[in-house]
Structures are given as C-alpha cells and as structure tokens.
Amino acid sequence: MVLVLPTSTYRAGDFVDAAGALGASVVVVSDQAPVLGRADASAAVDLDDPVAAAAAIAGLDDRRGVDAVVAVDDRGVLVAAEAAATLGLPHNPPAAVAATRDKAALRHALATAEVAQPAFRLVAPGEVPEDLPLPWVAKPRGLSGSTGVIRVDDAAEADATFARIRDIAGDPDATLLVETFVPGPEVAVEGLLRGGELEVLAVFDKPDALDGPYFEETIYVTPSRHPTDEVARLVQQACTAVGLTEGPVHAEARLSPTGPVLLEVAARSIGGLCARTLRFGAGVSLEELILRHALGLPTDGLVREDVAAGVMMLPIPRSGTLREVRGQDEAKAVEGVVGLEITVPKGRTVKALPEGDRYLGFLFARGETPADVEAALRLGHAALDVVLD
C-alpha cells in the first residue's frame, strides 16, 4: 500500500494505522522524507510534479509490488491518480482529478453538464463581474479550506477585496473565481465511488450559518436532519460530470430554497481529523474502509453505525502566537464529548481566516441524536479559553 501525503497533513497516522490493521505493508510517499515509525518505508517525491512522482511510485512497484495507491489529502490526489494509471490499478482519470483541484475547471465541467451550482465568473485583475447578481463569494482558484474566501456585498468593495485575496494567494495577477452567494443551510457528503456509482457513507449538517464575510467551518454533525436524497443525486451528477469513477469523494452543497446547489466535489475523503467521527460495521474507520476498497477487499455490510456523531473544528479567534488552551479537562468532562485534540503546538504563530489555513484542533462528541451531539460540542467549546499573544 502506497500512501501519498504532504508532511503537513493531520491524517498520516490514522491512514498508516488503518493499513497496518489490514496487514498491508506501507510505503509513505511525501514531499519530504517523513519520520513515521509505523510505516515500513518512505520516499520523498515532488508532489507538484505528478508525472515524475508517479514514475517514482512505479519504481517502487518494480522492487516491492504495489497493490494500491491512495492519496490522503488534496495535494496528493493527482499523484495517486497518475501512479495508479501507470500501474494499471483502479483509479480516477487524472484529468478528472485535476478538475477538482482547480475551482474554475470544476465550475466549467459542472456547467457543461448542467449540474446545479452557483452562477460564476472568472475575474482578472482590474475586472469586476458587473453582470453577476450580488452578493458575491470571491475565492482563489487553487486554495482549499476556506482560505481566501470572502463575501462581497457591494461592488464598491470589490477591488480592495480582490486585492486581498490575490495577496493571500501570493499572486497579484491571479484570476479569481467569483460566484453568486447561495442562501440556505450547508451540508457535506462523504461517499465512495465504485465504477462510477456513488455510495453515500454519511451526510453531515453544518449547523452554524456560513453566510460570511468569511466562511469558517466549525461543527459537522451526522446523520443529517435534512432530506438527503436530492443531495445524493446531485453529488452523483457532479461526479459523472467531472469524470470521477473510483475511490473516496467529499462534496459540499447548499440547500437553497429552490433545491440543492453543489459548491464543490473533491476526489478525497473529509479533511482534518473529521473522519474520526465515522465508524462502520464493528468499529471500522473511514480510513480502513477506503483502503479496503483500494485493495479490492470486501466491504459488504460496512454501513455507518447507528449513532449520532460530530466534530467541531476549533476556530482560531484571531491571529497571534498560541500560548495555551485552558479548560481542556472541563471540555472533555462535558457529557457526550468523547475526545479533544489540539493540533497547534504552543508557541506557534497562527492566522485567522481568511488568511489562515488551519484550525486550532478538533473536538469530538457522540450521542443519541444530532441535537445532543451539537449541544455537547457547543458546551465543550465554551469551556475552552484560547490564550493568544
């Protein structure tokens, strides 16, 4: 099993553990030679050069025999697709994966297939999309995790906002994606593609309103309290439109007054440590389910357990240097809270959105109902005191 991951990912350990649980020999391929004692071997490749990285993985096959290649995060998905194609393993077409990594390319693919999505324009420096109804949501084409995503309510704000986004992206000449804002609650869909057919694994509600000016995600709770059949059909349409056929899918949609509208679809599983909310069958993790599929092992009967679960991605309240997070024991003592992990070390400088690209940590809860889980997460978060200089 080859795991493709950037060294900055939260998820390396969970995937390596899942591979070990299946008895698979693990080779970690990353942008730096990682120190992962639980892996059998590691190799450094250039994740920004998918063809060369795929060739390096094919070289591993010559020496060890590779049965599956799985990307852990966004930066590795194209490398994994190229490598699997080279080795003749089940895979997504690299062109389809590349479209999910470029917000503009994704929008054009969905538009061609008439998939419900926000109206959009590509905006070069000095331009303003005057024919696009306000309010707008402006975003860089290649960043993820809400980094650089800002709402624009007045066209007079556009030049300054667009300049700020280009500064965040590090490219003053960048073409931005500008979309109409879609009102309504937001949901996330976790799925697995098998020969182009989508199996929905879980649908998460995002109970905190994501109305801007920035779009910081916080609470995810499953099962959803909204009807989900139309959302599942929408995500299937999006996968077909883009050309995704195999492996994990993470999608996000708004439930607008006129029906669900697709915001994004990615050829990977849910980010951060959020996958820890999900268990299938007799305690199988999402990572193990994904690896089972990639290795061609049986997954029959592995449906999500019948319990409500959720996670809060702990927001960074303002930019500064983290000194400590007080109240952790109190948060863990809240009924329903089952875990807390602070992922930013003390002394690290952090940035709030829209400049920021990470969360402070993750708070986990389980309960009889989604409402119970949401309440536990809010109480646990209220117990924390984040001290920043």
Chain segment 214-260, per-residue pLDDT in tens: 999 999 999 999 999 999 999 999 999 999 999 999 999 999 999 99
Residue type (1 letter), 154:
D
**Residue-averaged pLDDT of the chain:** 93
Residue 311 scores a pLDDT above 70: yes
- Which residue in 321, 325, 329, 311 sits closest to 377, CA to CA? 311
Considering the chain, tell me which residue range(s) the CATH 3.40.50.20 domain(s) occupy.
2-91
Residue 31 scores a pLDDT above 90: no
Beta-bridge mates of residue 53: none
Higher pLDDT: 356 or 362? It is 362
CB 230 within 8 A of CB 167: no
Residue 368 scores a pLDDT above 70: yes
pLDDT score at 38: 64
The distance of Cα 214 from the centroid of its chain, to the nearest Å, equals 17
pLDDT score at 6: 83
Average pLDDT over residues 80-95: 94
Q: Residues with Cβ < 8 Å from 37, sequence gap 6 or more?
A: none
Element (H, E) at 175: none
Percent of the chain beyond pLDDT 70? 98
Residue 34 scores a pLDDT above 70: no
- What is the token pair recorded at 372? 């119970």
Alpha-carbon distance values, 375 to 67, 171, 235, 277 (Å): 43, 41, 29, 16
Longest dimension (CA), the chain: 60
Alpha-carbon distance values, 313 to 38, 75, 275, 365 (Å): 26, 21, 12, 12
Considering the chain, tell me which residue range(s) the CATH 3.30.1490.20 domain(s) occupy.
119-180
Residue 37 scores a pLDDT above 70: no
3-state secondary structure at position 304: strand
Considering the chain, tell me which residue range(s) the CATH 3.30.470.20 domain(s) occupy.
307-389
pLDDT score at 11: 82
pLDDT score at 35: 52
Long-range contacts at 32-36 (CB < 8 A, ≥ 24 apart): 32/7, 34/5, 34/7, 36/12
- Which residue in 250, 256, 184, 208 sits closest to 377, CA to CA? 208
3-state secondary structure at position 90: coil
pTM: 0.93
**Which is the CATH superfamily of the domain at 119-180?**
ATP-grasp fold, A domain (3.30.1490.20)
Residue 359 scores a pLDDT above 70: yes
CB 139 within 8 A of CB 103: yes
- What is the token pair recorded at 316? 């960074």
The CATH architecture of the domain made up of 2-91 is 3-Layer(aba) Sandwich (3.40)
Residue 380 scores a pLDDT above 70: yes
The distance of Cα 222 from the centroid of its chain, to the nearest Å, equals 16
Element (H, E) at 103: helix 103-112
Average pLDDT over residues 348-374: 94
**Would you place residue 213 in the very low, low, confident or very high pLDDT band (cuts 50, 70, 90)?**
very high
3-state secondary structure at position 252: strand
Q: How far apart are CA 70 and CA 77, in angstroms?
A: 8
The backbone region for 10, taken as left when phi is positive above 0, alpha when psi lies in -120 to 50, beta otherwise, is: alpha
Q: Residues with Cβ < 8 Å from 384, sequence gap 6 or more?
A: 314, 325, 326, 327, 328, 331
CATH T-level topology, domain 307-389: D-amino Acid Aminotransferase; Chain A, domain 1 (3.30.470)
Average pLDDT over residues 150-160: 95
